[in-house]
Amino acid sequence: MSGTGAAAPHAEDLEPEQTEGFKVGEKKTLEEYQQLDQNDESLRKWKESLGLGSGNTLPADPNDKRTVIILSLGLEVDGRPDIVIDLTKPGSLEDLNKHPFTIKEGATFRMKARFRVQHGILSGLKYVQVVSRMGVKSKMQEMIGSYSPNTTDKPEYEKKFEPETAPSGMLGRGHYEAVSQFVDDDKTSHLQFKWSFDIKKDW
């Protein structure tokens, strides 16, 4: 992954940060979740937040064992067309690694992900990213959340990340290498990929 002078992230760099005192809850099947006490208002709202009880669950692909399928990654910048990478196309991750994004210095942007959930409840999905430049690494983590399998009412999910501001000035401009991972509470890695971007004076 490393470019000129870049320090390649190690596997432990992409480990999600843990909240002190947090314990992963006991896993339940979809049927068990559906049968939890309907008279508990807070529990009902929690189940709704997962998408339970809204539409019919879409059938899972028996040939695809993944719990979460990342459909696309996008970059939103005010006043510019979105850049969207369709991850359902063969070779898309390889192309992403070969073709850096260009971001104008000081620009405010945010990433977004479209994804589908199947086979069971997805618990505590997080996006972890390590960016390297000139031997210096920085890490960010974005909580995406917990989701039930997609339904006819909600055939896919979209998560927009918190806005970021690109570095600026002579020291901020240049080429950056990144490694990203989607990982859940069980530390199951659902997708890991390399990419890069260039910070320039203009688009």
Q: How far apart are CA 195 and CA 147, in angstroms?
A: 26
Q: How many CB atoms lie within 10 A of CB 18?
A: 11
Q: pLDDT value at position 55?
A: 76
Which amino acid, residue 190?
H
* Token pair listed for 58: 């879409």
User: How high is the mean pLDDT of the chain?
Assistant: 85
Q: What CA–CA distance (Å, rounded) separates 140 from 130? A: 7
Dihedral sign for Cα 9, 127, 200, 84, please.
Answer: positive
Of the two residues 10 and 6, the one the predictor is more confident about is 10
**Could you say which DSSP state residue 10 is in?**
P
Q: Has this prediction a pTM greater than 0.75?
A: yes
Higher pLDDT, 42 or 88: 88
Options 2.70.50.30, 2.60.40.790, 3.40.50.261, 2.60.120.1310; CATH for 61-200 is: 2.70.50.30
Where exactly are the structural domains of the chain? Answer: 28-57, 61-200
pLDDT of residue 53 exceeding 70: no
9-38 pLDDT per residue, tens: 565 678 877 665 555 556 656 566 555 555
Percent of the chain residues topping a pLDDT of 90? 68
Q: pLDDT at position 15, please?
A: 80
pLDDT digits (tens, 9 = 90+) for 164-191: 999 999 999 999 999 999 999 999 999 9
Query: Which sign, positive or negative, has the C-alpha torsion 132, 110, 191, 92?
Result: negative
